[in-house]
Amino acid sequence: MTGQPWRLIPLLDAPGAVQMAIDTWLLDQHQHHGHPPVLRFYTWNPAAISLGVSQRRQIPDHWRNLSWQGQPVDLVQRPTGGRGVLHQGDLTYALVTSAVEGSRSQVYRFLCQFLIEGWAKLGVSLGFGQPDRDYSRSSNCFALATSADLVDSQGHKVIGSAQLRRGTYLLQHGSISLAPDPELWQQVFQTPGPQPNQAQLAMQRGLTLSQVMASLTQAAADCFNAQLMAQPLSDREWIDIYALAQKNGPECQRTGPSAVSSRS
């Protein structure tokens, strides 16, 4: 049986402000213009810290003057909630969909199932974290897990997820920690990096990014009964996305078509 048509956008490597504009634009298109549900994966270049939508005044001062490999570490506002996430050595996923029934917790569990099943096929067992009252006091999303996050069998956080909901329409995206640089982690969070999680160990043993995305894509097709159709962003779509990105602040001024690359 043919599943519901979904758009699969190929892997993009781009500045964080552009990536957030893409996610927001896709949600707008799905909500108002009949755009199909979307799955996409992306990476951040240059390295960035993304801030939860309500985190503007709760960030360490030194985050405003960070650099890595000769480039500033961008500070980027997410349209979703949560705490600060360091985007370096991670893979981000984004889902745009609608009409998912249930409480917030039930929706998270439904949408995260493809992550659990996809990683299980790669030999990494994941489960949901437990609520922690100290989460809101931390500026570091990966310091603690919540019931919306996925942890490995040792309790190490692997994936942190967050949502933006507009009625029945929603964006869920999250960071999959695969190869963090310990020196940058120390610089940002001023604590030693956490113990390697099972996904990071799998990458060290030779698992590739392409294999991860292929497994997660197939799992999404199975979990959501989706017919995933690969379709890059068009030139016309990029014009709208860059216009939206420019509204996010002066850090977007240096972005442009040459700042974005597609990867397989």
- Ranking 3-12, 76-85, 165-174, 221-230 by mean pLDDT, the lowest is 76-85
What's the CA gap between 253 and 242, in Å, rounded? Answer: 10
**Catalytic site includes residue 112:** no
- Ranking 75-84, 87-96, 106-115, 236-245 by mean pLDDT, the lowest is 75-84
What's the CA gap between 45 and 17, in Å, rounded? Answer: 10
* Share of residues in the chain with pLDDT > 90 (%): 76
pLDDT, residue 247, reads 80
Decide: helix, strand or coil at residue 22: helix
CA dihedral in degrees (88, 159, 157, 120; nearest 10)? Answer: -120
Catalytic residue, candidates 112, 141, 223, 252? 141
CA angle 250, 252, 258 (to 5 degrees): 145
Residue 113: pLDDT over 70: yes
* pLDDT (average), residues 215-230: 98
Residue 36 CB burial class (10 angstroms; 0-12, 13-18, ≥19)? middle
Residue 201: pLDDT over 90: yes
Q: What is the pLDDT of residues 45-102, one digit of tens each?
A: 999 999 988 776 678 899 999 999 999 999 999 999 888 999 999 999 999 999 899 9
The 3-state secondary structure of 170-222 reads EEEEEEEECCCCHHHHHHHHCCCCCCCCHHHHHHHCCCCHHHHHHHHHHHHHH
Residue 98 has φ and ψ, to the nearest 5°, of -160, 170
CA angle 168, 31, 45 (to 5 degrees): 105
What are the structural domains of the chain? 9-258 (3.30.930.10)
Radius of gyration of the chain (CA): 17
**If you average pLDDT over every residue of the chain, what do you get?**
89
What's the CA gap between 229 and 68, in Å, rounded? Answer: 36
pLDDT band at residue 111 using 50, 70 and 90 as cut-offs: very high
CA dihedral in degrees (220, 221, 226, 228; nearest 10)? Answer: 100
Residue 69 CB burial class (10 angstroms; 0-12, 13-18, ≥19)? exposed
pLDDT, residue 255, reads 39
Backbone CA torsion sign across 58, 59, 64, 69: negative
